[in-house]
Structure 1
């Protein structure tokens, strides 16, 4: 995200428990909130595809080397989550993992990548497998790569 974007207001998830998790994560500079019920959690900021506003949510993540992985499960709902639709429209995102924040690019894993990465994510959070069985849509795996030359910054 650009310097101008860093001064924009970020709207946190309207879901109460997610907003509470984000607040704790941000207020402690990542010292708290890096896990959610024992699962690794990061903050993802996307640009709203219709509103143009910055939107932040907390998500369980996995790793594949230096790459971060997310699952657009939406709890197994019929529709993709809003954050996934946003990054599909504008792949420039900001990620916070613990105290570290960095600009990144997000993309949907290819079919070949998903075959390898889906088991990585179901090992992190086994419930994803149940979500997939309960919906007709293929739940996307999202690959997040640090933007080239993106400096890491400590959380405010």
Structure 2
């Protein structure tokens, strides 16, 4: 199985720029989702952080995850997490176009940047604006790292 790209983001604008670079290139999906699905998933989560809904993972998962938050912010999000049924709104339509996904990502980032309050994370709960940005950067690395630009 191919190894995910080692990319690092420090801002939402860097996520968008890399997504646009991928969209303008020939790419190979290294996992189950297409480039468009990965971009759309990021758009969904970025928008959710500013607009809701306020979903919650089970209590034990939330408590255990809090112990790993700083490690995740530093080292990244491990792959292999399956989205539970309660969170199916986070699963992108397999038929979405890359252009539509990019438009959704641009709009989600704009929504996030205009917000002055943020919803709790479903697992880690209360995040500051900067913690949300850091989470979105690590999350973007995970998903866009699952797409390889083919030279």
The normalised TM-score by structure 1 is: 0.28
Question: Looking at both structures, which has the greater relative contact order when contacts are Cα pairs under 8 Å and sequence separation is at least 6?
Answer: 2
TM-score (structure 2 length as normaliser) = 0.28
Structure having the larger proportion of residues in strand: 1
